[in-house]
A and B are shown apart, each in its own frame.
Chain A
Amino acid sequence: MPEAEAAVGSRRELEKRRRRAEREARFGAWYPRWYWPSFAAPATIWIAFLFVLPFYVVLSVTFGTVDAIFRNPLPVYQFWWWSGSQFVDTAQRFYGSNAFYQPTLIRTLWYVAVASLLCLVIGYAVAYYVARYGGKRKALFLVLLIAPLWIMYLMRMYAWQSLLTSDGWINDLLMFLHVIGHPVNWLEGKPITVIIGLVYGYIPYMILPIYGQLDRIDKNLLEAGRDLGAGPVRTFVRVTLPLSKQAILAGMIIVTLPMFGDYYTNDLLSGSPKTSMLGNIIDSSVIQPGQGPLAGSLVVLLMVLLLIPMWYYLRSTKRAVEMG
């Protein structure tokens, strides 16, 4: 009998609703257990297979063996059979008697340190000016500051490279100003070219977070500092600078992380082993056949080197994403 069935159905339905209402009262809105996980599932599976698993393969290649005849890497996927000989081999190139990568490592640290400090000094000045004195032009300034992020990094380097050729406009300009007597080969292994290239490439990533924080500083605090007798310098050192400390740290990390993995700036602006950086070693080892273990060990080493800044950045990104 359909009516009775419907009645039973509706009674069951009522019972269900009553239970749901009870749970709702306890937990807020009620959802089936699997409901939200099912939204996140596709991307979670994607990340597991194409991000986590590849890093396991990196470890398997790094701690695996090499084919005795062809010298091909033979990854070992069973982690209980892993051996560290390849990794130790690579690590010894950085430290010890036969450390032929050590100069590259030291050079990388130097270049990154100088370039990121230059980014900070120039970037802070620009961010400070736009945040404090931008006035009606602030929107225009912001567009101009963000524009480089939308321009391909390669194109910016390529543009810079064209200007620096020996018959390029930079040499013309410097000769016109009588700074130099004859054209300089800027593109042949000059550290200054590479460092300025790195600054040119990454400085927008420094300016924007600093600008963001400086813009949020309550102007009343600055006026209070002034009212209490502090001059502009004291106000800056005692009020503005401490309030922008976090942005400085964030900017430094955002800028240094990619610099450590950068090989293209060097390739386009120098291409000489005299200025090669860690990224260049990794890049050349990836391209050469049979150098998988070397590339893997270098990647693992780079990750170890970047562990602390990455951890800090991860924590602050997580906080920013979750707190808004």
Chain B
Amino acid sequence: MNETTAPAPTIERTPAAAAPVARTSRGFGRRFRNPWRKPRFLAGITWLYLAWSILPVAIAVLFSFNSGRSRSTWQGFSLQWWTGDPFNSLWHDPVLHDALIQSFRLSIITMIVAVPLGTLFAIGLDRWRGRVAAGANFAMLLSFVLPEIIIGVALFLFFTNLLKHVVGLGTIPQILGLVTFQISYAVIIVRARLLSIGKGYEEAAMDLGASPTQAVRRVLMPLLYPAIFASFVLVFADSVDDFIIVRYLSGPASSEPLSVKIYAAARASPTPAVNAAATVLLGTTLFAALLGLLVYRIATRGQRGGDAAKEFVSLQV
């Protein structure tokens, strides 16, 4: 029996057959023991949980359109915090404006540097054995597992002590730090894909006369494109949202991206302009996720490995 699809209908169909039993039994104990009762309690918890996890964010987005200064009392719809207010709106406040640009600059550069590094590393490590390889693999996985604050503090002490006279805190350390933190995501995604591809295609190419480099470039790379693309999306979304590493490594106020500004504002007296700023980042990451899913689906069409959507989802677990 197909384990994923077939049993579900049998479970759903059985209540009718079991209904008489359920009707004659009385009391909580009997009902609890009935294996075919509808899981109302669990359903309730699940829907409550989903509402709890999504609604606050939706309300925060709604309040970016508030016409008053409050982010907790609704005073009517307006666009003043987006574009209307000539000084404090997201569009006109130079601080928020610059921070948004800094956010995109950091995450785009991080993405462009981290994904190729991680992809090459994943390919190399898949075939390179030895002590150095094992050490590099360990360090890479460690950077994935460590709480971010630890990496942030380590990089902060590194840049403010050893490299004190080489480079000041600001955009360059921020990018170096983000890339260090994000390489492992690309590595893990690409290695998972390498495993599902197997070595067969490459060996076939070389049997047909391709050199190792040709086999990698013409056969392996095209097969890896979906994973590489997924890493681009994930790394971008994750670095736009990052604020722990970036905050420790930011120098002058102009080098603080939007996430850091939001953190600072949330602790002071935030206006709905902060909601608007957060909404922009939210829209960006959701757009990236959607784009990622679509392209992943198109790129893996007709390949082995099954459902693309499922695979893309499983990348994030």
Contact = CB atoms under 8 A, between A and B. Distances in A.
Interface of A: 28-29, 31-32, 35-44, 46-48, 50-55, 57-58, 60-61, 73, 75, 77, 122, 125-126, 128-130, 132-133, 135, 139, 141-142, 144-163, 165, 167-169, 200, 203-204, 208-209, 212, 215, 218-220, 223, 226, 231-233, 235, 257-258, 260-264, 267-268, 271, 279, 282-283, 286, 292, 295-296, 299, 302-303, 306, 310, 313-314, 317-318, 321-324
B112 interface: no
Given A46-B183, A158-B274, A135 B12 contact: yes
Contacts of B289: 150
B39 A150 contact: no
Interface in B41-91: 42-43, 45-46, 49-50, 52-54, 56-57, 59-60, 63, 70-73
Given A125-B42, A155-B60, A218-B3, 20 more contacts: A29-B202, A29-B212, A36-B127, A38-B124, A43-B121, A43-B136, A57-B157, A75-B162, A148-B54, A153-B241, A154-B278, A158-B266, A167-B72, A168-B72, A203-B49, A231-B33, A264-B263, A282-B153, A314-B138, A322-B191
Contacts of A125: 42, 45-46
B269 to A, nearest CB: 11
B188 A321 contact: yes
B154 to A, nearest CB: 4
Given A52-B139, A125-B45, A232-B33, A40 B120 contact: yes
A223 B270 CA distance: 55
Contacts of A61: 157, 161
B149 interface: yes
A189 to B, nearest CB: 14
B93 interface: no
Contacts of A28: 203
Given A29-B202, A169-B72, A257-B147, A161 B266 contact: yes
A302 B56 CA distance: 32
19 contacts: A36-B123, A40-B136, A51-B151, A54-B155, A77-B162, A126-B49, A130-B46, A146-B316, A154-B241, A155-B278, A158-B274, A162-B72, A169-B59, A209-B317, A268-B266, A295-B156, A302-B150, A313-B145, A314-B142
User: Interface of chain A, helix or strand or loop or mixed?
Assistant: helix
B128 interface: yes
A321 B35 contact: no
Nearest to A267: B267
Contacts of B273: none
A302 B161 contact: no
Nearest to A133: B39
Nearest to B113: A46
A262 B152 CA distance: 12
B229 interface: no
User: Interface of chain B, helix or strand or loop or mixed?
Assistant: helix
Contacts of B123: 36, 39-40
Contacts of B39: 129, 132-133
A32 B128 CA distance: 11
A267 B188 CA distance: 32
Given A208-B317, A219-B7, A47 B128 contact: no
B295 interface: no
A50 B177 contact: yes
Contacts of B206: 29
Nearest to A34: B128
Contacts of B12: 135
A43 B186 CA distance: 11
B308 interface: no
Contacts of A302: 147, 150
Interface in B278-309: 278, 281-282, 285-286, 289, 309
B166 interface: no
Contacts of B314: 212
Given A125-B46, A267-B267, A158 B60 contact: yes
A175 to B, nearest CB: 14
Interface of B: 1, 3-4, 7-8, 11-12, 32-35, 39, 42-43, 45-46, 49-50, 52-54, 56-57, 59-60, 63, 70-73, 117-118, 120-121, 123-128, 132-133, 136-158, 160-162, 176-177, 179-180, 183, 187-188, 191-192, 195-196, 202-203, 206, 212, 237, 240-241, 243-244, 248, 259, 262-263, 266-267, 270, 274-275, 278, 281-282, 285-286, 289, 309, 313-314, 316-317
A271 B264 CA distance: 12
Contacts of B144: 317
B278 A261 contact: no
A47 B151 CA distance: 12
Contacts of A161: 266
Contact of A35 (B138, B147, B191, B212): B212
A212 B222 CA distance: 29
Nearest to B192: A324
Contacts of B120: 39-40, 42-43
Given A126-B46, A152-B285, A233-B32, A51 B248 contact: no
A313 B188 CA distance: 14
B174 to A, nearest CB: 12
Contact of A152 (B49, B59, B147, B241): B241
Contacts of A60: 161
B117 A42 contact: yes
Nearest to A130: B46
A321 B317 CA distance: 12
Contacts of B313: 142, 146
A111 to B, nearest CB: 15
